[in-house]
Structure 1
Amino acid sequence: MHPLRNEALESGEARLGTRFWIFPQPPFLPGYEQPDRVWLPILRDEIGAGPSDATMYVIDPLSEKQPYGFDRLPPFDGPRRAAPKPGPDRHFDNVSPSSREFLAVHAYACVHFVLDIWQSYLGRPVRWFFEQTFPRLEIVAFVNWDNAQAGYGFLELGCSDTDGVRRPYALNFDTIAHEVGHLILLSETGVPTIVSPEADFFPFSEAFSDAVSLISFLHFGSAIDRLLRRTRGNLLLYNELNRFAETSPETQVRLATNFRRMSEVTREVHDRALPFVGAIFDTIVELYHRELVARDCADSRLLDLDLRALSQRDFDAFRAATAEAFRVKPLIFELALAAARDTVGQALASSLRTLDPTTMRLDQAATAVIAAAPGAAAEVLEANFAWREIIGRR
């Protein structure tokens, strides 16, 4: 007697999407040497070799390629490496993470993973701001260049070089998520028509993209679990959550846990973005603490402390109490962090279409985010933006 096929089960699995591997953090970081298997909500028959689909495709140039610029745009017309193909089951988790082909597969998976998150926050699909010229985003898996950039119709990924060790940005989720953040912002707000010296579109673009990277990272269940276990629930410690674009275990490009105010920064766009990024991180941590207090996992006095001015004694007491509560209720900590993550992500996404990219200032962007947040979260955001001198105090 032949076993019967469970067609309902098979069709149900097909509806789950397509499997990929993603490294939530660069694989040279301790604890992140192995990737996570993720399901992308794209039907297997909608993804072709490359990978490619109706909205994007990946190429890996066979020879040296110059980075794109104003006078050089996609599509790439040079020789390219063979496009990675799915396995017999039409999934892409058959591609070895140690292979060259994995650069393309990983970059594609990361872009889709981030897009899915932010389309959920937006409540609608992201329509590329360049769609009238290029119907699909071209992702370049590797360029021999120490940078990564997103622009009109493209996202291309170079590699870092730290002490002679080259690490492709195609394996760096933070970097890819940051660049996708730029594309989402331009697609939602539109492109500035002029660049005014008083406008802050580019600093806001850097801040928003760092926030996209930070919040998207928190959508990996394994990463949240590892993060909280490493810190015993204390997010005030330096950890994966507040590092961006890792290039070595010791080097950090940007830190979200900064204490910069607007009176302390220059006009350089990355520097000017730091107070805004810091306010977003502060808000996630404070909302996380509020969730812990509400769920009886932290002392209510925690909400009355200025976390930027904690004495060592207060910090040690908080760390000890948090560690004990985390030992007993680790799942509650995960739920609290996810709730804080989604509240801030939703507010950021909802604010975008109210912003004018040509005249935008950081105080206007902050006010828009506050207006898009629910009551308690709006109060926390307002206080943090005010402390950073982005908006005035009431």
Structure 2
Amino acid sequence: MSQMLDAQARENGTKFLIYPQNRTVPGFENPEVVYINLPPGSIKAGPEDDEMYVVDALNKVPFGEQGSPPFRYRYEGPHNPAVQPNAQGYFDHLRPEERAFSAATMYATVRRALEIWEDYFGKKIPWIWSNEVPKLLLIPLVNFKNAVSSPAGYLEFGFPDGDNTDIPHCRNFDVLVHELGHQIKYAVIGIPDRPTYEYHGHHEAFGDLVAIVASLHFNTVVDHLLNNTFGDLFSVNELSRVGDLKAGRSIRLAFNNEKFSRLITEPHLLSLPFTGGAFDILVEIFQRNLIERNLISQELGDLSFNSTVGQQHEIREQFKRFYQGKEAEFKDALLDARDKFGKLMATAWLNTDKENLHYGKVLGNILEADRQLYNGKYEDTIRSSFDWRGITTETMLEPLQFQIHVVDELVTV
């Protein structure tokens, strides 16, 4: 979302509370106020708006399992009363210890991330299933170990490790936005008749990248990230750890050394080299901003991109020297890189064909988007970020039969 539209939401929007990272991560113990870009009073109890609604279902098993109420036009199983806004039309009065908080924060996370990416795509994102059901159904607290995004028009979320006393997935920003990313991909790219392995790998990468960019719209995330890394983002940090869980675990790492292999067909593992290559582009755009604004040296930027393990401490110390006293300038450079990268990926994805989708074709679309948006300024960066991972414009695997996307998000790497 552009910084201008972000400011517009703060001025005229409806307040909610969201944890931008898992609350067990130091520095993120408290939720943050966010502004949904809809005026107070326009979001109904539920919460519900014209495109989505939350149902806090009771004693529900996952859809498709025996005993689960059917989902057709609108969910009709047992559920708690709809969550009400306060007298001002806001939902930020709800406390984390209340069950209703989960319903409100799930809605706010999905709506906020959708607004961010509709801005990058430059248009409304129509749900792929809208002819059958009018609104996206959000179910926050289902007693199972999973987080599911279905092309039938719903998101239903459980708990890590199946423990319903733990922090539910619906309060984990990265996990929830990753699953929304699947809905966005269904709408923007579509579902092919015969998906390739890379379609499914890209499906996971798409969700991770949607979540990474959305997380950079929290001041707490950006400030914490820069204050802890000093701008050295080629590292394991809050941004590169996708889906932080308790006890230092995370679901996947965007900062990785994974390379494309025709022997890997499991979607989450196959996603890693594509996610890693795209993440490198984001960081490189940020570092080029720093260099062009005389905030770091060209030598440090080159060293950071090609560093070895033994050089990492010295690189971090150099970044620290440049960062101190220039904190606001570094932040502005990162927000600009965030928006350039978001627009780059959205433009590429709009031109991606669902049929015969291969990483090489998506890479070609990224290069074309760079030419269209930035006159090819980042071509070398884009190519180098993917080439060493074995992803070129010729990269492809064999097709396979389509399976409906149901994800166990707790794949660790």
TM-score by length of 2: 0.86
1:335/1:321 Cα in 2 relative to 1: closer, same or farther (>3 Å)? same
User: Within 1, Cα distance between the matches of 2:162 and 2:298?
Assistant: 44
Task: Indicate which of 333, 336, 341 corresponds to 1:339.
Answer: 336
The count of corresponding residues between Structure 1 and Structure 2 is: 378
Structure 1, residues 157-206: CA drift from partner, whole Å, max 9, x if none? 111028996220111000111011111111011221233xx452111111
Q: CA deviation at 1:265?
A: 5.8
Does the CA contact (< 8 Å) of 1:67 and 1:143 recur in 2?
A: no
Residue identity over aligned pairs, in percent, reads 31
Q: Which residues of 2 match residues 1-394 of structure 1 at below 5 A?
A: 16-68=12-64, 73-74=71-72, 75-151=74-150, 152-161=152-161, 166-195=166-195, 198-263=196-261, 266-305=264-303, 307-310=305-308, 312=310, 314-373=311-370, 374=374, 375-391=376-392
Q: CA deviation at 1:208?
A: 0.9
Structure 1, residues 246-265: CA drift from partner, whole Å, max 9, x if none? 22132121101110111386
Secondary structure in 2 aligned to 1:284? helix
- Corresponding residue of 1:5: none
Secondary structure in 1 aligned to 2:53? strand
Does the CA contact (< 8 Å) of 1:138 and 1:155 recur in 2?
A: yes
Secondary structure in 2 aligned to 1:139? strand
Q: Which AA in structure 2 matches 1:321?
A: Q
Q: CA deviation at 1:328?
A: 1.1
Does the CA contact (< 8 Å) of 1:297 and 1:322 recur in 2?
A: no
Q: Which AA in structure 1 matches 2:392?
A: I
Unaligned runs of 5+ in 2: 1-7, 395-413
Secondary structure in 1 aligned to 2:166? strand
Does the CA contact (< 8 Å) of 2:225 and 2:237 recur in 1?
A: yes
Q: Which AA in structure 1 matches 2:352?
A: L
Deviates more, 1:286-295 or 1:170-179: 286-295
Does the CA contact (< 8 Å) of 1:371 and 1:378 recur in 2?
A: no
- Corresponding residue of 1:4: none
- Corresponding residue of 2:400: none
Structure 1, residues 293-342: CA drift from partner, whole Å, max 9, x if none? 11112111134336354252x43332112112211100111111112211
User: Within 2, Cα distance between the matches of 1:26 and 1:366?
Assistant: 32
Q: CA deviation at 1:78?
A: 1.1
User: Within 2, Cα distance between the matches of 1:329 and 1:142?
Assistant: 43
Secondary structure in 1 aligned to 2:161? strand
User: Within 1, Cα distance between the matches of 2:229 and 2:286?
Assistant: 14
Q: Which AA in structure 2 matches 1:178?
A: H
Secondary structure in 1 aligned to 2:332? helix
User: Within 1, Cα distance between the matches of 2:83 and 2:393?
Assistant: 53
User: Within 2, Cα distance between the matches of 1:228 and 1:91?
Assistant: 31
Q: CA deviation at 1:68?
A: 4.8
Q: CA deviation at 1:377?
A: 2.2
Report the aligned-residue RMSD.
2.2
Does the CA contact (< 8 Å) of 1:201 and 1:361 recur in 2?
A: yes
Deviates more, 1:378-387 or 1:160-169: 160-169
User: Within 2, Cα distance between the matches of 1:15 and 1:232?
Assistant: 30
Q: Which AA in structure 2 matches 1:138?
A: L
Secondary structure in 2 aligned to 1:38? strand
Does the CA contact (< 8 Å) of 1:177 and 1:212 recur in 2?
A: yes
User: Within 1, Cα distance between the matches of 2:162 and 2:227?
Assistant: 29
Q: Which AA in structure 1 matches 2:85?
A: P
Q: CA deviation at 1:137?
A: 0.3
User: Within 2, Cα distance between the matches of 1:120 and 1:237?
Assistant: 29
Q: CA deviation at 1:383?
A: 1.5
Deviates more, 1:46-55 or 1:153-162: 153-162
User: Within 1, Cα distance between the matches of 2:387 and 2:10?
Assistant: 49
Does the CA contact (< 8 Å) of 2:13 and 2:36 recur in 1?
A: yes
User: Within 1, Cα distance between the matches of 2:309 and 2:316?
Assistant: 12
Does the CA contact (< 8 Å) of 2:40 and 2:89 recur in 1?
A: yes
User: Within 2, Cα distance between the matches of 1:184 and 1:130?
Assistant: 12
